[in-house]
Chain A
Amino acid sequence: MNQIINTIAGIGDMVLLVARSFSYIKTLPRQFPRFVDQCFNIGYKTMPIVTILCFFIGAALAQQSGYSMQNFGAKQFIGALVGLSLARELGPVMVAILVAGRVGSAITAELASMKVYQEVDALVTMNIPPERILVLPRIAAILVMMPVLTMIANLCGWFGGALICQYTPSISVDSQSYFAVLARFTHPKDIIDSLLKAEVFGLVVITICCYIGLNTKGGPREIGASLTKAVVLSLICILVLDTIINAILI
Chain B
Amino acid sequence: MSSPQTATPFTGKTVGITVSHLTKKFEQTTVLHDINFEVKPGEIFCLMGPSGSGKTVILKHIVGLETPTSGSVHIGDYDASDPETRAKIHMAFVFQAGALFNSLSVYDNLALYPREHALGTEAQIRERVMYALSILSLEKAVNRMPSELSGGMKKRVAIARALVMEPQLLLYDEPTAELDPILSATISEIIATLREHTAVTSLVVTHDRALALSIADRVAIIMDGRIRTVGVPADIRNTNDPAIENFMNPVIDPKNPRFKQLEKDNE
Contact = CB atoms under 8 A, between A and B. Distances in A.
Given A125-B86, A126-B165, A118 B95 contact: yes
B125 to A, nearest CB: 13
B113 interface: yes
A232 interface: no
A124 B64 contact: yes
B101 A122 contact: yes
B262 interface: no
B260 interface: no
A122 B164 CA distance: 14
A201 to B, nearest CB: 27
Contact of A127 (B87, B101, B102): B87
B149 interface: no
Interface string B68-106: 000000000000000000110001110101011111000
Q: Is the interface of B mostly helix, strand, loop or mixed?
A: loop
A133 B65 CA distance: 18
A121 interface: yes
Nearest to A132: B116
B117 A127 contact: yes
Contacts of A132: 116
B113 A118 contact: no
Contact of B102 (A117, A121, A124, A126): A117
B109 to A, nearest CB: 9
Contacts of A114: 101
Interface residues of B, number: 21
Contacts of A13: none
- The interface size bin for chain A is 10 to 19
Contacts of A110: 103
A122 B102 CA distance: 12
Interface in B99-137: 99-103, 112-113, 116-118
B63 interface: yes
A119 interface: yes
A217 to B, nearest CB: 12
A118 B99 CA distance: 5
A110 B103 CA distance: 10
Contacts of B86: 124-125, 127
Given A125-B65, A125-B91, A127-B117, A119 B112 contact: no
A183 interface: no
A49 interface: no
A216 to B, nearest CB: 15
A16 interface: no
A121 B65 contact: yes
Interface in A102-155: 110, 114, 117-119, 121-122, 124-128, 132-133
Contacts of A121: 65, 93, 95, 99
Contacts of A133: 116
Nearest to B63: A125
A127 B91 CA distance: 9
Nearest to A133: B116
A180 B103 CA distance: 50
Interface in B139-176: 165
Nearest to B89: A127
A126 B164 CA distance: 11
Contact of A119 (B93, B99, B117): B99
Contacts of A126: 92, 112-113, 116, 165
Query: What are the 5 closest A-B residue pairs judged by CB atoms, nearest first?
Result: A118-B99, A127-B86, A122-B99, A125-B93, A128-B116
Given A118-B99, A122-B100, A126-B165, 13 more contacts: A30-B118, A110-B103, A117-B97, A118-B95, A119-B99, A121-B65, A121-B99, A125-B93, A126-B92, A126-B113, A126-B116, A128-B113, A132-B116
Interface of A: 30, 110, 114, 117-119, 121-122, 124-128, 132-133
